[in-house]
A and B are shown apart, each in its own frame.
Chain A
């Protein structure tokens, strides 16, 4: 691609003329398989996300932060969803959401940053890769036209790597076409800036037609303005993400970071700190799912976190860094079934190091299951490119 084409293209875009031209017209979003990965940063408490109501050790361990039986949203006799996850529960009722209640990263890192690194890099060695597994999925699918996008102001590791992924966060849309052209020229010999800037401009153009609305603040600021307003904004965020995914040339692989899960103290039960974050997550999912419309049938959305939390409530009415947690798997054409993976139980002898829910499913197995069954990636690509040296980790079966 020559530079002059780039500039022409930008000119057309800035004038709002033609997205078909921009997208090349060679492919459209409809019918494309899509994958959204929500990352709960801070270590989400799986035992509150999906309370194991049938486990007789759950209530004694949890004390005042246990979700009362009459308020838990029951999936079956053994598991429920947190009362704030109403939209996800509605999906579950239709067979469009399932939980994997005991998922963990390969090694039991207790540092947020190491654990997030392993979760996103897809390798077992901490800081062992500068690219993320979702970016390598783009590489692995190079035969097909696939785009990746992260939501948030900072580029997360999961989508960093050889393929330039788009990124977007709510904010005012830029105007004018001269400066983008001048800067594109100025960045010509700067590998990092040229490719990031080109991607940014494309996303901006897409934002104009995707109806991604302007919002002045990030999730945290919004949350501070009150739960109702925060959840409305969260729903709008989900709708905006869907808007991008529905565009011709829009992203098929999307990563959304949601922080605020590190509940060492006063985490609350039905209400409280954690409940607020769950309500936020539920609203984003709701906005996304409704925004995608019929494309929801081509989408799988995963909710994962770097680690779960200690099984027992701590001395400050919170929980500390643990091991396994809950992953949520959603999609319009999910295969029916119960939980994904086994339940190790909270029995005394079953806890990891005597303190945490043990893992029964390597998170890479869950990712592999989604990538193979939903996106059609083959085993060789999964075992070598996307998750290097992972042949021993079998894909979770029966997802899509």
Chain B
């Protein structure tokens, strides 16, 4: 298979593997497109969003406190004028309510986003998302960032649950970015033991039916005299949600050769993997292994027996799953689909699979194999950008990051990134299921999706149209060799700069990669 010319390869490197060309980037990549990509592959970590960030534990604790404050406020409001109560008590509650309201009220001088978070739910979800969007829009290593996006989607933690709202952002920073080009097994272990994942897929409360804790609870339940008390005793037991998704989505894939019984056995082994409470001291809001929740006994998963070694019993299973040949195949297929085509050439999948197997899951080697494969450089643009990729690439084409494009920067991010993503069907950190965002053209190139992109372009273009470069130059810098004649003609015929930029953003070659 012959490789295309250097100009086309540069466009492929920067838009298919990267997140869209910033001004001058095509030139930089043109001399050695493969080398330009390979220089972005590190030995381990990927970049972090700029600035200082709270840890997941800090986020989690702050969120819990904000929730408690809100509940207090609600209670205080609910009891504001209790009938038949002495006036003094009502007054006390009024004072308490006012104090709480002051505490939660927006402080003058704070930026809007901050207010939204303080007055909102304290999860920090939006600032986390804007931080990563800024990185994506401004990085010179956008292949590295796309690689992170792929793995972040592979190990989806969706902020659609209360417990995961403060943790979806930190999860990406603490699990995906540090191990982006390291060993797959390490990323899998980090993911499977991170509080975000443990909450998202209900592992944190999973308890062995024969564990000491379950037996104690059962005894307490039986000792309770009346049925009401019995009912109140918390029911505890097994949850197999995480172990199913580790097998189905994260490792061997749905046809990886496991059964329902394997899922359950794995779930029994994993009991005890949980998240610390305030009474757990230093482990508060961090991973904790609770021996008393662990289901005793040896387990058999996919034909292999695992001795009961406590917390490391599940670890051994996870490591075997990481090394399973079906995992290599599953990951290879997903990578080829994400980077190259909804229907990738089998020869490409085989190359990635081999790289995964021979390197024992070294993601650095897998990334290099992806760049080396001739199949990755087929000139046809078959991948349709997701909403996030579309919005980021538009920002990149203008050389700006999301916060600097509106008169009021924080509002700019809210109006030009967060809300539009919601409308386009890809709300921030909120994939619809553990499977993550869809990859295929059929999902995203919907009638409604195109209209939403047009609406966005029409609002965004006037805000950025007065930059130093003519729209035609913006188009050339963004698309290079891929800028088509029809699009050039339409740009030339545009009656205004905003119209021209809208045409660029909506052109078939800009919508694809």
Chain A residues engaging chain B, CB cutoff 8 angstroms: 41-42, 63-64, 110-114, 130, 150, 152-155, 157, 160, 164-169, 171-172, 174-176, 178-180, 182-183, 185-190, 192-193, 196-197, 199-201, 203-204, 216-218, 220-221, 259-260, 262, 264-265, 313-318, 320-321, 353
Whether A217 pairs with B422 at a CB distance below 8 angstroms is yes
B140-199 interface (Cβ within 8 A of A): 160
Whether A64 pairs with B160 at a CB distance below 8 angstroms is no
Whether B425 pairs with A153 at a CB distance below 8 angstroms is yes
* In the bound complex, CA of A282 to CA of B458 (Å): 36
- B219 an interface residue at 8 Å Cβ cutoff? no
Q: Closest Cβ of chain B: how far from A160's Cβ, in Å? A: 6
Stretch of B9-17, B205-213, B313-321, B366-374 that contacts chain A:
B205-213
Q: What are some 23 contacts across the A-B interface (CB < 8 A)? A: A64-B231, A113-B435, A153-B425, A153-B449, A154-B443, A154-B444, A160-B442, A167-B448, A168-B448, A174-B454, A178-B499, A179-B506, A182-B494, A182-B499, A186-B486, A186-B487, A193-B511, A201-B451, A203-B451, A220-B430, A264-B201, A315-B205, A320-B239
- CB nearest neighbor in A for B231: A64
**What are the interface flags for B11-36 relative to A under an 8 Å C-beta threshold, 1 for contact and 0 otherwise?**
00000000000000000000000000
Q: Closest Cβ of chain B: how far from A398's Cβ, in Å? A: 35
Whether B454 pairs with A179 at a CB distance below 8 angstroms is yes
B424-453 interface (Cβ within 8 A of A): 424-427, 430, 432-433, 435, 438, 441-452
Q: Closest Cβ of chain B: how far from A201's Cβ, in Å? A: 7
- B329 an interface residue at 8 Å Cβ cutoff? no
Whether A264 contacts B202 in the complex (CB less than 8 A), given A41-B432, A113-B435, A315-B238, comes out as yes
Whether A155 pairs with B443 at a CB distance below 8 angstroms is yes
For B435, list chain A residues within 8 Å (CB): 112-113
For B454, list chain A residues within 8 Å (CB): 174, 179-180, 183
Chain B residues engaging chain A, CB cutoff 8 angstroms: 160, 201-202, 205-207, 209, 214, 231, 234-241, 244, 248, 254, 260, 384, 419, 422-427, 430, 432-433, 435, 438, 441-452, 454-455, 458, 486-487, 490, 493-495, 499, 502-503, 506-508, 511
Whether A179 pairs with B458 at a CB distance below 8 angstroms is yes
A-B contact sample (16 more), CB < 8 A, given A114-B254, A317-B235, A353-B260: A63-B235, A112-B435, A153-B425, A153-B426, A168-B447, A168-B448, A175-B458, A186-B507, A186-B508, A200-B446, A200-B447, A218-B427, A264-B239, A265-B202, A315-B209, A315-B235
- CB nearest neighbor in B for A183: B506
For A321, list chain B residues within 8 Å (CB): 244
For A318, list chain B residues within 8 Å (CB): 202, 239
For B449, list chain A residues within 8 Å (CB): 153-155, 167, 196, 200
Whether B448 pairs with A200 at a CB distance below 8 angstroms is yes
* In the bound complex, CA of A267 to CA of B90 (Å): 36
* In the bound complex, CA of A172 to CA of B451 (Å): 10
* In the bound complex, CA of A49 to CA of B237 (Å): 24
Q: Closest Cβ of chain B: how far from A59's Cβ, in Å? A: 12
User: A172 is contacted by which of B202, B444, B455, B486 (Cβ under 8 Å)?
Assistant: B455
For A264, list chain B residues within 8 Å (CB): 201-202, 239, 241
Whether B422 pairs with A185 at a CB distance below 8 angstroms is no
Q: Closest Cβ of chain A: how far from B221's Cβ, in Å? A: 11
Find the residue from A157, A187, A216, A313 having the highest chain B CB count within 10 A: A187
Whether A183 pairs with B237 at a CB distance below 8 angstroms is no
* In the bound complex, CA of A172 to CA of B420 (Å): 10
* In the bound complex, CA of A193 to CA of B511 (Å): 10
* In the bound complex, CA of A318 to CA of B235 (Å): 10
For A197, list chain B residues within 8 Å (CB): 447, 450-451
Q: Closest Cβ of chain B: how far from A36's Cβ, in Å? A: 17
Whether B447 pairs with A166 at a CB distance below 8 angstroms is yes
For A190, list chain B residues within 8 Å (CB): 508
Whether A152 contacts B425 in the complex (CB less than 8 A), given A110-B244, A316-B206, comes out as yes
* In the bound complex, CA of A321 to CA of B240 (Å): 9
Q: Closest Cβ of chain B: how far from A113's Cβ, in Å? A: 5
Find the residue from A112, A160, A218, A260 having the highest chain B CB count within 10 A: A112
* In the bound complex, CA of A153 to CA of B453 (Å): 11
Whether A179 pairs with B503 at a CB distance below 8 angstroms is yes
Whether B205 pairs with A316 at a CB distance below 8 angstroms is yes
Whether B458 pairs with A200 at a CB distance below 8 angstroms is no
Whether A220 pairs with B160 at a CB distance below 8 angstroms is yes
User: B503 is contacted by which of A41, A63, A153, A182 (Cβ under 8 Å)?
Assistant: A182
Find the residue from B419, B450, B451, B452 having the highest chain A CB count within 10 A: B451
For A166, list chain B residues within 8 Å (CB): 447-448
User: A179 is contacted by which of B237, B427, B487, B502 (Cβ under 8 Å)?
Assistant: B502
Whether B422 pairs with A218 at a CB distance below 8 angstroms is yes
- CB nearest neighbor in B for A192: B445
For B506, list chain A residues within 8 Å (CB): 179, 183, 186
Whether A196 pairs with B446 at a CB distance below 8 angstroms is yes
Whether A183 pairs with B419 at a CB distance below 8 angstroms is no
For A183, list chain B residues within 8 Å (CB): 454, 503, 506
* In the bound complex, CA of A169 to CA of B433 (Å): 19
* In the bound complex, CA of A157 to CA of B442 (Å): 8
Q: Closest Cβ of chain A: how far from B314's Cβ, in Å? A: 16
Whether A220 contacts B202 in the complex (CB less than 8 A), given A200-B450, A316-B237, comes out as no
User: B240 is contacted by which of A160, A179, A193, A320 (Cβ under 8 Å)?
Assistant: A320
For B244, list chain A residues within 8 Å (CB): 110, 321
Whether B445 pairs with A193 at a CB distance below 8 angstroms is yes
For B425, list chain A residues within 8 Å (CB): 152-154, 169, 218
* In the bound complex, CA of A165 to CA of B449 (Å): 13
For B231, list chain A residues within 8 Å (CB): 64
Whether A186 pairs with B490 at a CB distance below 8 angstroms is yes
For A193, list chain B residues within 8 Å (CB): 445, 450, 508, 511
Whether B451 pairs with A174 at a CB distance below 8 angstroms is yes
For B508, list chain A residues within 8 Å (CB): 186-187, 190, 193
User: A169 is contacted by which of B160, B441, B448 (Cβ under 8 Å)?
Assistant: B448
Whether B447 pairs with A196 at a CB distance below 8 angstroms is yes
* In the bound complex, CA of A114 to CA of B205 (Å): 27
For B495, list chain A residues within 8 Å (CB): 178
Q: Closest Cβ of chain B: how far from A203's Cβ, in Å? A: 6
